[in-house]
Amino acid sequence: MKKDISILLDFIYVYCEHIHGEAKKSPVLYKNLDLEKTVCLCKECSDLAIYAIDRRMDCPFIHKPPCKKCEIRCYSEDYREEIRKVMRYSGTYFIRRGRIDYLIKYFL
Protein backbone atom coordinates (compact mmCIF):
# COMPACT_ATOMS: atom_id res chain seq x y z
CA MET A 1 0.00 0.00 0.00
CA LYS A 2 2.83 2.43 0.83
CA LYS A 3 4.36 1.78 -2.59
CA ASP A 4 1.04 2.56 -4.30
CA ILE A 5 0.78 5.79 -2.34
CA SER A 6 4.38 6.72 -3.07
CA ILE A 7 3.87 6.23 -6.82
CA LEU A 8 0.62 8.17 -6.69
CA LEU A 9 2.39 11.06 -4.97
CA ASP A 10 5.13 10.97 -7.61
CA PHE A 11 2.50 11.35 -10.33
CA ILE A 12 0.80 14.23 -8.54
CA TYR A 13 4.16 15.89 -7.82
CA VAL A 14 5.18 15.88 -11.51
CA TYR A 15 1.81 17.33 -12.50
CA CYS A 16 1.96 20.00 -9.80
CA GLU A 17 5.53 21.05 -10.66
CA HIS A 18 4.77 21.38 -14.37
CA ILE A 19 1.22 22.75 -14.29
CA HIS A 20 1.23 24.76 -11.04
CA GLY A 21 4.96 25.50 -10.97
CA GLU A 22 4.79 29.00 -9.46
CA ALA A 23 2.09 28.25 -6.88
CA LYS A 24 2.98 28.24 -3.18
CA LYS A 25 3.73 24.70 -2.06
CA SER A 26 3.68 22.96 1.31
CA PRO A 27 4.65 19.45 2.44
CA VAL A 28 1.89 16.85 2.23
CA LEU A 29 1.31 15.39 5.67
CA TYR A 30 -1.00 12.45 6.19
CA LYS A 31 -2.21 11.15 9.53
CA ASN A 32 -0.49 7.99 10.76
CA LEU A 33 1.28 7.31 7.48
CA ASP A 34 5.05 7.31 7.45
CA LEU A 35 5.92 8.25 3.88
CA GLU A 36 9.45 7.53 2.70
CA LYS A 37 9.84 11.01 1.27
CA THR A 38 8.36 14.45 1.71
CA VAL A 39 6.43 15.85 -1.24
CA CYS A 40 5.59 19.55 -1.49
CA LEU A 41 2.46 20.40 -3.46
CA CYS A 42 0.20 23.39 -4.05
CA LYS A 43 -3.12 23.54 -2.18
CA GLU A 44 -5.13 22.10 -5.09
CA CYS A 45 -2.76 19.17 -5.64
CA SER A 46 -2.36 18.60 -1.91
CA ASP A 47 -6.14 18.29 -1.56
CA LEU A 48 -6.18 15.79 -4.43
CA ALA A 49 -3.30 13.83 -2.87
CA ILE A 50 -5.00 13.60 0.53
CA TYR A 51 -8.27 12.55 -1.13
CA ALA A 52 -6.46 9.91 -3.21
CA ILE A 53 -4.57 8.59 -0.17
CA ASP A 54 -7.86 8.35 1.74
CA ARG A 55 -9.36 6.33 -1.12
CA ARG A 56 -6.33 4.02 -1.27
CA MET A 57 -6.35 3.48 2.50
CA ASP A 58 -10.06 2.59 2.35
CA CYS A 59 -9.74 0.32 -0.70
CA PRO A 60 -11.26 -3.08 0.14
CA PHE A 61 -8.91 -4.94 -2.22
CA ILE A 62 -5.66 -6.40 -0.94
CA HIS A 63 -4.30 -6.46 -4.49
CA LYS A 64 -5.74 -3.21 -5.78
CA PRO A 65 -6.74 -3.19 -9.45
CA PRO A 66 -6.12 -0.05 -11.53
CA CYS A 67 -8.86 2.45 -10.69
CA LYS A 68 -10.05 2.66 -14.29
CA LYS A 69 -10.73 -1.10 -14.28
CA CYS A 70 -12.29 -1.24 -10.82
CA GLU A 71 -16.01 -1.88 -10.45
CA ILE A 72 -16.20 0.22 -7.28
CA ARG A 73 -16.28 3.95 -8.00
CA CYS A 74 -14.79 5.42 -4.84
CA TYR A 75 -13.73 8.78 -6.36
CA SER A 76 -16.32 11.52 -6.71
CA GLU A 77 -16.79 12.72 -10.29
CA ASP A 78 -14.76 15.92 -9.75
CA TYR A 79 -11.79 14.15 -8.19
CA ARG A 80 -12.00 11.34 -10.75
CA GLU A 81 -11.60 13.88 -13.56
CA GLU A 82 -8.69 15.57 -11.75
CA ILE A 83 -6.82 12.31 -11.12
CA ARG A 84 -7.34 11.34 -14.77
CA LYS A 85 -5.69 14.60 -15.86
CA VAL A 86 -2.81 13.97 -13.47
CA MET A 87 -2.34 10.37 -14.63
CA ARG A 88 -2.54 11.33 -18.30
CA TYR A 89 -0.01 14.16 -17.95
CA SER A 90 2.42 12.41 -15.62
CA GLY A 91 2.09 9.09 -17.43
CA THR A 92 3.24 10.75 -20.64
CA TYR A 93 6.04 12.45 -18.73
CA PHE A 94 7.28 9.16 -17.26
CA ILE A 95 7.03 7.32 -20.61
CA ARG A 96 9.21 9.95 -22.24
CA ARG A 97 11.78 9.47 -19.50
CA GLY A 98 11.77 5.68 -19.66
CA ARG A 99 9.94 5.11 -16.36
CA ILE A 100 7.75 2.30 -17.65
CA ASP A 101 7.88 0.67 -14.21
CA TYR A 102 5.62 3.45 -12.86
CA LEU A 103 3.07 2.89 -15.56
CA ILE A 104 2.60 -0.85 -15.48
CA LYS A 105 0.24 -0.86 -12.51
CA TYR A 106 -1.72 2.25 -13.45
CA PHE A 107 -2.21 1.79 -17.17
CA LEU A 108 -2.49 -1.96 -17.71
Beta carbons of 98 and 59 less than 8 angstroms apart? no
Residue 107 has pLDDT above 90, yes or no: no
Note the pLDDT tens digit of each residue in 35-58. 667 889 999 999 999 999 988 888
- List, in sequence order, every residue forming a beta bridge with 27; answer none if it has no partner: 40
Q: How far is CA 70 from the centre of its chain?
A: 16
Residues 6+ apart with CB under 8 A from 33: 2, 5, 53, 57
User: Is the Cβ–Cβ distance between 44 and 83 less than 8 Å?
Assistant: no
Interval 52-86: pLDDT, tens: 998 888 888 777 777 777 788 888 999 999 999 99
Put simply, whether the predicted model's pTM sits higher than 0.75 gets the answer yes
